[in-house]
Amino acid sequence: MFLHAFKYRLKALLHQKDEIFWNLLFPLILGTCFYAAFSNITKSAETFETIPVAVVLEDSAKETYFVEMMDGLSESSGDEVPFFATTYTDLAQGEELLATEKVDGLIVLNGGIPSLTITENGITQTMIKAVLDKYIQTNAVVNSMIPNHLDKLEAVMVAVTTEATYIRTLPLTHGNTDPVMDYFFALIAMSCLMATTVGQYVAMHIKADLSPIGLRKVISPANRISMILGDMSGSFTLSAVGNAMLIIYLKYILKLEFGAGFLPIFLVSLIGSLMSICIGMMVGFLPKLGEGAKLGINISFTLFSSFLSGLMASGIKQTIERTCPIINRINPASLISDALYALNIYDTYEKYTRCLIIMLAMSLIFVFVSLMITRRETYDSI
C-alpha cells in the first residue's frame, strides 16, 4: 500500500501546476534575480579600478623622483591593474580635466612639493592624498640627510622606500565570506519551506471531511499509517528534486561558492524539506479551518520565517541573534540557513550537526502533534 500511495501522490503532484511552479521553478527564478542584483554589488566592491590623475610640473628636470614614482605607479605588473593613470599637462588643461571629471585629482608641484586639488571627497581622493603624504615624508627625510650624512643616503633611501611588515595575515576561515551569500542560504531555506503546502495536502487527503480523496481513503481497508507515509514520501520526493535543482543551479551553473560539496548541502535541504512537510501536515490536521485558511497559514509562516532568516533584509538574523537568540534556534528557515553557513565558514561540523538534530527533533514533534490531533478522530456518518 505504501508504494501505491507514493506512486499516485507523486503523479498527482506532477499534475498540479501551481505546486510545480512554487516548488521547482520559483526558487530558480528568484535565485537568478538575486544573482543578477547582487553579483554586480560584490564585483564593484571588490574590484579596484585605476585612478585617473592629472599632474602639472614646474620643472620636470628638478622633479625627476616624483615623475619616476608616478610612472612606476602607472605601470601594470602581471595581472594587477596600475594604481594611477597619469596625465602630464599644464595647469589650465589640468583644471579642465578635473572640472569635467575626467580625472579624480589634480596634482601641482610647487618647489618640488606636490599639492592636491579635488572637487569632492571620496575613497579615490583619499588614496591619492595618502600617496602624496608618503612622498612628502620620504622627500623630507632624504633632504634632511643630504647636508650632513651624504654617505648614509643610500641606506636611508632603501629604508624609507621599503615597506616593512611585522604582521602575518592568517585567514579566519577558508570559506566564502561574502555577506551576499546569506541571501542564497535564506533562499534555499525558503525553497525547503515551500514544502509546507504539499504537506498540508497530505493531511487533507487523509481526512474524510476535507476532500473526496480523504473520504475514499478513510473507508478503504488499507493501513492508515502506510497511506500517510506513502503520501509524505511522494511530497518529500518533489521537494527534494526541487532543492537539488536549485543547489545544482546555484553551485554549478551560477558558480556560487558555498564552501562545501553538494552532498552536505543537499542533506540540509532534505532534512529541511522533511521538517517543512511535517509542519504543513500539522497545519492541515488543524480542525475547524478550511483549505484556504490553512494554505494562508502555511504561506504566511513560510514568508515570515524566511524574513527572520534574512531573505528580505540583510542583518535581520544577526540582530535577532544579539537581542533574542532563542528565535534563531527554533525558526525553521534560520536553522536551515545556519546549517549552510556553518558548512561554509567553520572547519568543524559541530554547529552543522546541531542544526540538523534540532530540525529532526522538530519534525518528530510536529508529527507527534499531528497524530495527537487525529488519534481519536471519528465520523458520525460517511
Cα dihedral 227, 230, 232, 233, rounded to 10, equals 170
- Cell numbers describing residue 207: 481526512
d(CA 234, CA 238): 7
Which whole number is the average pLDDT over 369-377? 76
Residue-wise pLDDT tens digits, 179-230: 889 999 999 999 999 999 999 988 888 877 777 777 777 777 777 778 888 8
Q: What is the CA radius of gyration of the chain?
A: 32
- Here the cell at position 252 is 554549478
Query: How far apart (Å, rounded) are the C-alpha atoms in residues 114 and 136?
Result: 8
Q: Taking the model in full, what pTM does it have?
A: 0.73
What percentage of the chain carries pLDDT values higher than 90?
Answer: 48
Segment 5-16 shows an average pLDDT of 87
Answer yes or no: are the C-beta atoms of 194 and 23 closer than 8 Å: yes
Which has more confidence, 76 or 318? 318
**Residue 1 cell numbers, joined:** 500500500
Confidence of residue 166 (pLDDT cuts 50, 70, 90): very low
What is the structure's pLDDT at 46? 53
Q: What angle, 0 to 180 degrees and rounded to 10, lies between the N-to-C axes of helices 26-46 and 181-193?
A: 170
For 347, other C-beta atoms within 10 Å of its C-beta total 8
Closest CA relative to residue 336, chosen from 189, 184, 196: 189
Q: What pLDDT was estimated at residue 104?
A: 93
What distance in Å separates the CA atoms of residue 116 and residue 121, rounded to the nearest whole number?
Answer: 12
Averaged pLDDT, 38-42: 67
**pLDDT greater than 90 at residue 254:** yes
Mean pLDDT for 278-296 is: 91
Ordered domains of the chain (ranges, CATH)? 2-39+180-374 (no CATH), 49-161 (3.40.190)
Is 60 exceeded by the pLDDT of residue 44? no
Residue 290 confidence class, pLDDT cut points 50, 70, 90: confident
CB 14 within 8 A of CB 242: no
- Per DSSP, 80 falls in state B
